[in-house]
Amino acid sequence: MTAARSDNGQAVPTGVEPPATGLRLVHEDGRSIRATWEGEELFRYVYAPWDPQRESPRPYFHPLRTLGGDLVSLYRPHDHVWHKGIAWSLCNVGNENFWGGTTYTREHGYQQLENDGGMWHQGFDLLEVHDGVLRFDQRLSWITENGAHWIDERRRVGVTTLPDAHAWFLTFETTMRNVRGRTIPIGSPTTEGRENAGYSGLFWRGPRSFSGGRIVTADGGGRDELMGSRHPWMAYAGEHDGHGRGSTLVFRDDPRNFSFPSQWFVRTDMYACLCPAPFFSEEYQLGDGESLTLRYDVCIADGSLDPGACEGLATLVEERDLLSEVAQG
């Protein structure tokens, strides 16, 4: 709808609410953040989840949609109800689990233990949209199932759109500080002895229709044989039910991460998932009082993209440091 204009070009009030334009923020106080683009929802970030303790309550992004409106995330699938869109999820944190569900240990394999901790929202130090960038700066406390305070986290997120590329992207940065009182080893089922099960990190679970999709890398790509391989970026291209259009998610590992280039946890046959996994095959020893910072970019695009197009998006994202803009602003 176009607003009426006077002879001098000024907008004339019509009594009709104008349509939303650009990137907008809706804060559901005490529950979630929603982002919209041209009036349509891009994502919801639930920062105060209502999950059962067994699912390790923690913030997550879901739903996630492309600029064209296609859904590219899945919430509480029946096979792994603790999978929720995109979430920062760590499974073997000492003897605790901040992933959800069962825990794999060298001695006993998978068991359901009373160790499913949660990441609890403590407050926002920044929450805004400015110059076309949505930003938030969040404080969280990691509390074990038995009530012990192990980690303080500062989480920073920046989001912007790339309309010319039919895409948008988010930068996710976490700084975890050990407040337990002694060293915390952070690993995965693979560090406990299970081969090719290094999941632990920024984990994405895709929609059901993405099963059997394509993994894309600078070398071309493949499918499940890329489990555990190292790449500076990795993408997942899938197709949607109904209309058959494709979408692609490009995850970029930051060169400043201690594990760069990351090993990747990826599946296409069982279900669609992708995770840069810094603790895939070797434990990280987070000393008492020490902090660990990790950063990733996630670009969500309309279309089933080839390696060249994915590389182009990874380069575009690399050239835009949304979180430094926060510091300068």
DSSP reduced 3-state for 227: coil
Q: Per residue in 41-88, pLDDT tens?
A: 999 999 999 999 999 999 999 999 999 999 999 999 999 999 999 999
**pLDDT at site 87:** 98
| Residue type for position 277 | A
Q: What is the CA radius of gyration of the chain?
A: 20
Main-chain dihedrals φ then ψ at residue 294, nearest 5 degrees? -135, 145
319/231 Cα distance (integer angstroms): 18
- Could you check whether the bond before residue 63 is cis, i.e. omega within 30 degrees of 0? yes
| Spatial CB neighbours of 323, under 8 Å, sequence gap ≥ 6 | 135, 156, 158, 171, 173, 295
**pLDDT at site 6:** 59
Q: Per residue in 281-313, pLDDT tens?
A: 999 999 999 999 999 999 999 999 999 999 999
Q: Per residue in 212-260, pLDDT tens?
A: 999 999 999 899 999 999 999 999 999 999 999 999 999 999 999 999 9
Task: Determine how many CB atoms are found less than 10 A away from the CB of residue 7.
Answer: 5
Confidence of residue 13 (pLDDT cuts 50, 70, 90): confident
Domain ranges of the chain: 23-222+232-328
Q: How is residue 103 written in tokens?
A: 């825990």
Average pLDDT, the chain: 95
Does the domain spanning 23-222+232-328 belong to CATH 3.30.1490? no
Main-chain dihedrals φ then ψ at residue 230, nearest 5 degrees? -110, 135
Task: Determine how many CB atoms are found less than 10 A away from the CB of residue 319.
Answer: 7
Residue 1, pLDDT above cutoff 50: no
Tell me which residue of 19, 2, 1 sits closest to 11, measured CA to CA. Answer: 2
